[in-house]
A and B are shown apart, each in its own frame.
Chain A
Amino acid sequence: MHFPITSSPHLQGGNAIRSVMGQVLLALVPGTVALWWYFGWGVVINVALAGVTAVAAEWLVLKLRKRDPWPAVSDLSALVTAWLLALALPPLLPWWQTLVGSLFAIVLVKQLFGGIGFNPFNPAMAAYAFLLISFPADMTHWLQPSVLTGENLPLQETLQAIFQGTAVLGAQWDAISGATPLDHMRTELSRNLMISEIRQSPVWGDFGGLGWEWVGNWFLLGGLFLIWRGVISWRIPVSMLAALLLIAGMFWAVDPQTHPFPAFHLFSGAAILGAFFIATDPVSASTTPRGQLIYGALIGLLVFAIRTWGGYPDAVAFAVLLMNMAAPTIDHYTQPRVFGAREEDHG
Chain B
Amino acid sequence: MPDYPKPAWDFHGGLHIDGHKSESLATPLREAKIPASLTLPLQQHIGLAAEPVVQVGDEVLKGQLIARASDYVSANLHAPTSGRVTEIAERPIAHPSGLSAQCVVIQSDGQDRWTELPEPIADFREADPADLRERLRWAGIVGLGGAVFPTNVKTNTTGRTVDTLIINAAECEPYITCDDRLMRDHPGDVIDGALILQHIVSAARVLIGIEDNKPEAIAALQADIDTRGLDEVKLVVVPSKYPSGGEKQLIYLLTGIEVPSRGLPLEVGILCQNVATSAAIADAVLRGRPLISRIVTLTGKGIRQPGNLRVTIGTPIRDLVEEMGGYTGQAHRLIMGGPMMGFALGSDELPVVKGSNCFIAASREEIPDPLAASPCIRCGECVKVCPAQLLPQQLYWYARSRDFDKTQDHSLFDCIECGCCAYVCPANIPLVHYYRFAKTEIWAGERERGKADHARRRHEFHEARLKRLEEERQARLRKKKEALGKKSAAGGDPKKAAIEAAMKRVAAKKAAQGQEPSPEQARDQEKEA
Which A positions have Cβ atoms within 8 angstroms of B? 1-13, 15-17, 19-20, 71-72, 75, 77, 114-118, 230, 233, 282-283, 285, 287-289, 331, 335-342, 345
Contacts and interface: CB of A to CB of B under 8 A. Distances in A.
B374 A17 contact: yes
Given A9-B339, A9-B423, A11-B367, A3 B378 contact: no
B368 A12 contact: yes
13 contacts: A5-B346, A8-B340, A8-B342, A9-B340, A11-B339, A15-B381, A15-B426, A117-B376, A233-B380, A282-B377, A335-B391, A336-B390, A339-B248
B260 A342 contact: yes
Nearest to A334: B391
Given A1-B347, A15-B381, A282-B379, A10 B362 contact: yes
Contact of A1 (B331, B335, B344, B436): B331
B375 A117 contact: yes
Contacts of A118: 375
B450 interface: no
Given A339-B387, A341-B261, 18 more contacts: A3-B332, A4-B333, A5-B346, A8-B417, A11-B174, A11-B419, A17-B374, A17-B426, A71-B374, A230-B384, A282-B377, A285-B378, A287-B380, A336-B390, A338-B411, A339-B12, A339-B388, A339-B414
B428 interface: yes
Contact of A16 (B332, B362, B410, B426): B426
A338 B376 CA distance: 22
A7 B343 CA distance: 7
B202 interface: no
Contacts of A71: 372, 374
A219 B96 CA distance: 49
A164 B379 CA distance: 41
Contacts of B261: 338-342, 345
Contacts of B376: 117
Interface in B382-396: 383-384, 387-391, 393-394
Contacts of A233: 380
A340 B414 contact: yes
A337 B433 CA distance: 23
B360 to A, nearest CB: 8
B149 interface: no
Given A5-B346, A10-B342, A75 B419 contact: no
Q: Is the interface of A mostly helix, strand, loop or mixed?
A: loop
A331 B394 contact: yes
Interface string B94-106: 0000100000000
Contacts of B374: 17, 71-72, 75, 116-117
B186 interface: no
Contacts of A1: 318, 327, 331, 334, 347-348
Nearest to B424: A13
B47 to A, nearest CB: 23
A3 B346 contact: yes
Contact of B341 (A6, A9, A336, A342): A9
A193 B222 CA distance: 80
A114 B436 CA distance: 26
A7 B17 contact: no
Contacts of A7: 343-344, 430, 432-433, 436
Given A10-B339, A340-B248, A2 B344 contact: no
B159 to A, nearest CB: 21
B34 interface: no
A5 B369 CA distance: 10
Contacts of B425: 15
Contacts of A75: 374
A117 B423 contact: no
B338 to A, nearest CB: 9
Contact of A116 (B339, B377, B387): B377
Contact of B423 (A4, A12, A338, A341): A12
In the complex, the 6 A-B pairs of residues with the closest C-beta atoms, listed nearest first:
A9-B419, A117-B375, A15-B426, A340-B261, A7-B433, A3-B334
Most chain B CB atoms below 10 A, which of A3, A8, A13, A230? A8
A20 B380 CA distance: 12
B305 to A, nearest CB: 17
